């Protein structure tokens, strides 16, 4: 068995492919360090390892660097081989200690389908998928461990048993979870491939501010870590070290109201993913000027737009406390039977109420 810290690097790359921002959710206290004269020209990973001593291994430091946990000024440094210069100041966000493994909890689950290999659930908004700092309990994983018993424990890893893809805490909708190692490998491969060579299909509905000029389009823009926030993503230059290929196809289903300039006040948009990056739909829609209603991370500049809405609509929109995003469709090949499985879930009550309010415009 290899060095556990070496496995962290591979696991981080896997999680980035599978929509799972591993390290940002694990981050703890920030440690600030200044390069002394005798550190001049040393590799960043080696210098940080020397500063931290035995507390964090060098391979773990490399994983943290690649994850964007090391910054100088307001810029994330993502290349472990970068040489440091005397007088430079670096900030390292050190991961918090974590429980060895999640515990089963008797929590309600909306199960759409289940067999010996997998379970498909309709995840409600507000439910975290797996334990992380600040949410060590009350997650989907805790609920599934109770529901599935020992059959799920350790499948695909101790910390995230069965998880092959992820939805944000405040995104609702269809998710599949593996119950065997065979199913976990097959589904993980399908999500990593994004359906290019198979039958994986994912469709989301979103309510956005204004409306795209075209009824359909494709957003092809690489995503990386937002240099201003360790937990957010941003469209970044293609050549940047942490840039990841990201493509979203969208189709406007309905436009609401008029801004008096030939445009709409809001729109219902369906998004289909060609890739599966963290916060992809939220970042991409904001990138083209149409952030999701309720998204305070990527649509903060649009908060005042609610004041322009009619009084009959304004309270409902203002009270909507999450990003208006729902994973309505998930289709995939069953890892055992090879049958094409297709699952849909209607938007939850809060998003339906928001849509009905916008219909008044």
Could you read off the pLDDT of 255-286 as tens digits, one per residue?
999 988 889 999 999 999 999 899 999 999 99
Instruction: Convert the pLDDT of each residue in 179-225 to its tens digit.
Output: 999 999 999 999 988 767 678 999 999 999 999 999 999 999 999 98
Flag whether pLDDT at 24 surpasses 60: no
Find how far residue 110's CA is from the centre of its chain: 21
pLDDT value, residue 168: 94
Residue ranges of domains in the chain: 4-95, 98-193, 204-327+352-358
Query: What backbone phi and psi angles, to 5 degrees, belong to 165?
Result: -155, 175
CATH class of 204-327+352-358: alpha beta
Flag whether pLDDT at 13 surpasses 90: no
Task: Label the pairing between strands 172-178 and 325-333.
Answer: parallel
Q: What angle do CA 6, 54, 35 make, to 5 degrees?
A: 100
Q: List the catalytic residue out of 20, 22, 168, 226.
A: 168
Give the model's confidence band at 235: pLDDT under 50 very low, under 70 low, under 90 confident, else very high: very high
Intrachain domains 4-95 and 98-193 with the same fold? no
Q: What angle do CA 255, 261, 267 make, to 5 degrees?
A: 15
CATH number of 4-95: 3.10.290.10
CATH number of 98-193: 3.30.2350.10
Q: Is 242 a catalytic site residue?
A: no
pLDDT value, residue 96: 62
């Amino acid at each position: 068995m290899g060095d556990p810290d070496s496995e962290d690097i591979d696991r981080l790359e896997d999680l980035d492919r599978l929509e799972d921002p591993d390290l940002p959710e694990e981050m703890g206290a920030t440690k600030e360090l200044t390069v002394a004269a005798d550190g001049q020209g040393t590799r960043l990973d080696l210098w940080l390892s020397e500063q931290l001593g035995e507390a964090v291994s060098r391979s773990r430091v490399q994983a943290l660097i690649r994850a964007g946990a090391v910054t100088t000024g307001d810029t994330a440094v993502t290349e472990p081989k970068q040489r440091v210069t005397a007088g430079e100041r670096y900030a390292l966000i050190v991961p918090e200690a974590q429980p060895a493994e999640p515990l089963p909890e008797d929590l309600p689950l909306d199960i759409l389908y289940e067999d010996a290999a997998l379970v498909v659930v309709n995840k409600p908004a507000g439910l975290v998928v797996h334990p992380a700092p600040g949410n060590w309990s009350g997650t989907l994983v805790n609920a599934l461990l109770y529901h599935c018993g020992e059959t799920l424990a350790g499948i695909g890893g101790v910390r995230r048993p069965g998880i092959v893809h992820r939805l944000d805490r405040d995104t609702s909708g269809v998710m599949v979870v593996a119950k065997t190692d065979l199913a976990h490998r097959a589904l993980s491969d399908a999500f990593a491939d994004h359906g290019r060579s198979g039958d994986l299909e994912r469709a989301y509905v979103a309510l956005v501010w204004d409306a795209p000029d075209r009824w359909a389009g494709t957003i092809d823009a690489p995503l990386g870590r937002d240099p201003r926030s360790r937990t957010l993503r941003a469209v970044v230059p293609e050549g940047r070290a942490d840039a990841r290929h990201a493509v979203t196809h969208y189709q406007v289903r309905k436009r609401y109201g008029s801004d008096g300039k030939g445009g709409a006040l809001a729109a219902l948009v369906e998004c289909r993913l060609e890739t599966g990056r963290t916060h992809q739909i939220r970042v991409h829609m904001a990138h083209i000027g149409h952030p999701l209603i309720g998204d305070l991370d990527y649509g903060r500049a649009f908060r005042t737009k609610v004041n322009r809405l009619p009084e009959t609509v304004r309270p409902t929109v203002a009270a909507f406390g999450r990003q208006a995003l729902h994973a309505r469709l998930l289709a995939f090949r069953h890892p055992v039977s090879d049958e094409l499985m297709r699952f849909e879930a209607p938007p939850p009550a809060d998003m339906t109420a928001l849509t009905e309010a916008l219909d008044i415009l």
